[in-house]
Amino acid sequence: MLYVSTRGHPDRKHFCEILLEGLAPDGGLYLPEHYPQVDAATLDQWRGLPYHELAFEILSLYIDDIPAADLRAICAKTYTPEVFGTKAIVPLRKLEDGLYLQALSNGPTLAFKDMAMQLLGNLFEYELARRGEELNILGATSGDTGSAAEYAMRGKKGVRVFMTSPRGRMSPFQQAQMFSLQDANIHNLAIEGVFDDCQDIVKAVSNDLAFKRRYRIGTVNSINWARLMAQVVYYFAGYFQASAQKVDFAVPSGNFGNICAGHVARMMGLPIGRLVLATNENDVLDEFFRTGVYRVRSGADTHETSSPSMDISKASNFERFVFDLLGRDAARTRALFADELPRTGRFDLGRDPAFAQARERFGFVSGKSTHADRVATIRDTWERLHAMVDTHTADGLKVARQHLQPGVPMVVLETALPVKFAATIVEALGREPERPARFEGIESLPRRVTVLPADVARVQTYIAAQCG
């Protein structure tokens, strides 16, 4: 399996090359040359496999430069009951007729990002040891990616992590999870700005090829294909547990990474009916799927909400979907994302025949949620269904209910455990959410964080100083 850039760079690369590289040299995102196809017979063979074996079967379709025995061992090491708290790893819970919740937040940092990040940490360590190299990981987080990456990479040989986050824009619990880590290979950079500023810094540094090569810069954000590839697995696991011919998935989405994995699973042949995209008040993606207009917002126009991990106005994974939407036309994709979007802040595919066919061909529908919707959904889900959900999952549930189809199970992907957003839980329910014992008192621990302006050169200077 070889990988191509969405912007048409002529190189074709194997998995382990793009694992350590992140963005393509032309600024595009990597995708496989084609999506492996899975037929009904293969689905029957996979049904009932333990999660780590299912992961191996799917990942082996995309990875041909890691020996099968080694890849199998990496999957077995990653997806264990000890790490994820349950043998099922991603158990499915029925909330009511036709509506299910898939638990993705049982990992070390209580968020779905652990599902891919734990694998990524083990893949990085394996490949760097095989090459005898080191890697400096630069990332951006609006809340959960950062802690998941840091917990996955802490103590890993040959790896340093430089994680940018928008100063003061994460929940107190999220900040404490990241900033309390004292590991020497973990560096937290609180950026004066919004998440999109952090993401822009990561992309700018990744596009500075001389700096990237000198300091061995890699990424853990979902611009790294390995993240999406790992997330594809739990769509298959959710489908099997739902025990239906066809399943819909509702996915809270800000950066388009989680739902892009669902798109990949659907393109592989998994019987997904519709992918229901849910946003909060930062509704860039909902606007696109309703109108065909993709219009990024400025930092000043990016709302600070009670589902902060989705306070994003530039969806970095969206380019992958548009590449597929346009029939994998790299020249058009490059023109939109490298020219028109930076110049005008928007593009319009509403009149493009490909967009008109998008809902039927790719199965996307969308909707958005407000703070009042989140509070009402959290309260209703607790009082009526005896389930406590976090604010992002509430966005997903609210929009999911708007798109229920008779006879088709709707699986809502859980985003995080409620304790990460306790203030809104208290507002909705008048009580604190449960907190795992290992996180008691985390907000009072000493913090290790550096505040920097939203300036690429300042971040590069910091990285260079830490690398000697």
- Provide the annotated active-site residues: 113
Residue with the two structure tokens 């964080």? 449
CA nearest to 236, candidates 44, 83, 392, 60: 44
Question: How far is residue 278's CA from residue 56's CA, in Å, rounded to a whole number?
Answer: 30
Sheet holding 272-279, edge to edge: 92-96, 99-102, 410-413, 247-252, 272-279, 364-368
Q: What Cα–Cα distance (Å) separates residue 451 from each residue in 161, 191, 192, 341? A: 16, 6, 7, 29
Radius of gyration of the chain (CA): 21
Residue 359 contacts residue 338 (beta carbons within 8 Å): no
Spatial separation of the C-alpha atoms in residues 44 and 29, rounded to whole Å = 32
In degrees and rounded to multiples of 5, residue 231 shows phi and psi of: -70, -25
Give the number of C-alpha atoms closer than 13 A to the C-alpha of residue 459, restricted to the C-beta side.
34
**Burial label, 136 (beta-carbon count in 10 A; 0-12, 13-18, 19+):** buried
The set of residues, in sequence order, having a beta carbon less than 8 Å from that of 468 and lying 6+ positions away, is none
What is d(CA 468, CA 465) in angstroms, rounded to the nearest whole number?
5
Residue 336 carries which DSSP code? I
Two tokens at 467?
């690398």
